[in-house]
Amino acid sequence: GQQLNQSPQSMFIQEGEDVSMNCTSSSIFNTWLWYKQDPGEGPVLLIALYKAGELTSNGRLTAQFGITRKDSFLNISASIPSDVGIYFCAGQPSGGGADGLTFGKGTHLIIQP
Amino acid sequence: DGGITQSPKYLFRKEGQNVTLSCEQNLNHDAMYWYRQDPGQGLRLIYYSQIVNDFQKGDIAEGYSVSREKKESFPLTVTSAQKNPTAFYLCASSIKRRASAGELFFGEGSRLTVL
């Protein structure tokens, strides 16, 4: 199956810092999605991207669909304690339903007081 | 409120026993999915169903079984044939419309531990 490389694997930051993470793929995706998972809970959709070059914001979160359609980026500005969790990217190839969704292995965000 | 309910939250099983994890949704979604999550891993698809009375194997279906007798319900049975069943199991649903099919709504998960 398709492989998604998500980096970094984990991040230790100070409250108030900005955060950047990304996902790259060896193949072209038509949709990129970013999810956040709190400990012991199910993931929650943060941002969905459907067009190459698209830049979408959700509060302090901004995500971009790479122009090559093989990558996506998520930025979090001015991090706060509730941002702690695991962030997953997911990509969907052309014409597929969610059965074709591939998930990255996640970026574990830890905020030090 | 609409959502997905998984039960039980925690489950312990002895080797050789089958267990069934419940997943119920009241979002009126056509499609439902079961994923398995292991530490440090992404989500891996076990089974999915896009319509009542029909379901398809995902990437890691061996040792699992499902049924879809009602639109709202998609239970997962972890059988004794699953060699490494200890994991966090997530149920999800989505609207079947293709453009937003990747927008999954997840339950809170069920953690299965085999003793």
Asked whether the beta carbons of residue A44 and residue B106 sit closer than 8 angstroms, the reply is: yes
Contact by Cβ (8 Å): B34, B57? no
Distances (CA, A) of A87 to A59, A106, B14, B60: 16, 5, 33, 23
Q: Tell me, what's the pLDDT at A2?
A: 64
Give residue B39's pLDDT: 87
A101–B58: do the CB atoms touch at under 8 Å?
Answer: no
Mutation for B interface: A30, A101, A103, A107, most B CBs within 10 A = A101
What does the block give as tokens for A99? 């059965």
Inform me whether the C-beta atom of residue B95 falls under 8 Å from chain A C-beta atoms.
no
pLDDT (tens digit per residue) in B16-70: 899 999 999 999 999 999 999 998 888 999 999 989 999 999 999 999 999 999 9
Contact yes or no for A106 and B108 at CB 8 A: no
Taking only the tens place, the pLDDT of each residue in A10-69 is 999 999 999 999 999 988 998 999 999 998 899 999 999 999 999 999 999 999 999 999
pLDDT in tens, A60-96: 999 999 999 999 999 999 999 999 999 999 998 766 6
For A1-15, A88-102, B70-84, which range has the lowest pLDDT when averaged over its residues?
Answer: A88-102
Number of neighbouring beta carbons within 10 Å of residue B2: 9
| A4 in reach of chain B (CB within 8 A) | yes
Find residue A25's DSSP bridge partners: A4
Burial class for B98, CB neighbours closer than 10 Å (0-12, 13-18, 19+): middle
Contact (CB<8Å) A99/B40: no
